[in-house]
A = this chain, B = another copy of it.
Amino acid sequence: MPQHDIRADSCRIEAFTAERMRNPIPAAVNALVEGFKNGRWTSHIEPVPIPSKGEVIDLIEQAQCILFPGFFAKDILRPENLDYHLGRQLSLFYENLANQISSAIRHDCFRHNQACILCNERSYEYAAALIDSLPTIRNLLETDIEATLTGDPAAGNADEVIFSYPGLFATMIYRLAHRLYELNVPLIPRIMSEHAYHRTAIDINPEASIGSHFFIDHGAGVVVGATTTIGNRVRLYQGVTLGALSLPRDAGERLRNVKRHPTIEDDVIIYANATILGGATVIGARSIIGGNVWLTESVGPDTRVMLEPPKLVYIGEKGEQ
């Protein structure tokens, strides 16, 4: 029976090819290990802890459950059990946060070749300081929700905003990350803001300073630079950049810690895709910046700045374009 033979042959072929199949791994291991030895930035091959991105994301989700328990907690909540729930959730958050902060600090000491004095104690202090701030952050977020409901006709009610507005989510993360930045906690604020960016395409540097009643609509492409200052009741639409003027090739070193981003005063509205650049640029209170506007100088208060509409060319369609 030919069927039988063919199959047996095919088995032999399989065996043969399995044998000759080369093993690429030892060479790659060696080359990579060599690379890590010589690499300038990519090592960290030592048992010194380093914050875990996954854990930091978990912390954000825990904070969201604490700040909006009725929306995101998995437990069934009742008023009389709420303090148990929050107390337990905060205890958990406290230990996890202190743990990640401790990794961040130890790692920073290691990178700077410093002894780690009372690192564990400091971690708990910083974590406690963030917990102290949570009620304030919650109150701020409530003003942000109010601003959203006031400003967006598509927002049916607060539930929709809390559940589904990327702007609120990014603002919540900013407010947490900013507090940690104020406490000089290394690394973690940036990991947090990256997570906000990944989820919302909104990029708010944790160093920025932002007032109450903040509302970002849609939000994809919004960039808020590190040295930006934003007042109260400010509203941003998608694609707004609050950035630095054009940067020299070695900007990374020359401009670190210099005020490079604009100041936005109270009650300003900035429409979609407007770009405002420069550390000396101030947008005065109650001003309105139109869509697509490109600004590199200051604007007084109560001013409306619009693009003089570029000319459009209308062509009756004919053939392929």
Contacts and interface: CB of A to CB of B under 8 A. Distances in A.
B117 A4 contact: yes
B13 A6 contact: yes
Contact of A198 (B34, B199, B252): B199
Contact of A8 (B115, B161, B277): B115
A80 B121 contact: no
Contacts of A255: 153
A76 B47 contact: yes
Interface in A1-17: 3-4, 6-13, 17
What band does the interface of chain A fall in when counting residues whose beta carbon is under 8 Å from B? 35 or more
Interface in A61-120: 66-72, 75-92, 94-95, 107, 111, 115-118, 120
Interface string A167-209: 0000000000000000000110011011001111101010100
Contact of A307 (B6, B12, B310): B310
Given A162-B42, A191-B163, A84 B25 contact: yes
Contact of A286 (B11, B45, B107, B317): B317
A150 B252 contact: yes
In this complex, the member of A120, A135, A164, A304 whose beta carbon has the largest number of chain B beta carbons within 10 angstroms is: A164
Contacts of A273: 239, 241, 273, 275
A145 B43 CA distance: 13
Contacts of A84: 25, 29, 83-84, 86-88, 90-91
A31 interface: yes
A163 B194 contact: yes
Given A83-B84, A154-B226, A305-B313, 9 more contacts: A6-B6, A6-B10, A31-B134, A36-B69, A45-B82, A87-B88, A165-B194, A239-B239, A286-B317
5 contacts: A7-B118, A36-B69, A163-B191, A239-B273, A305-B314
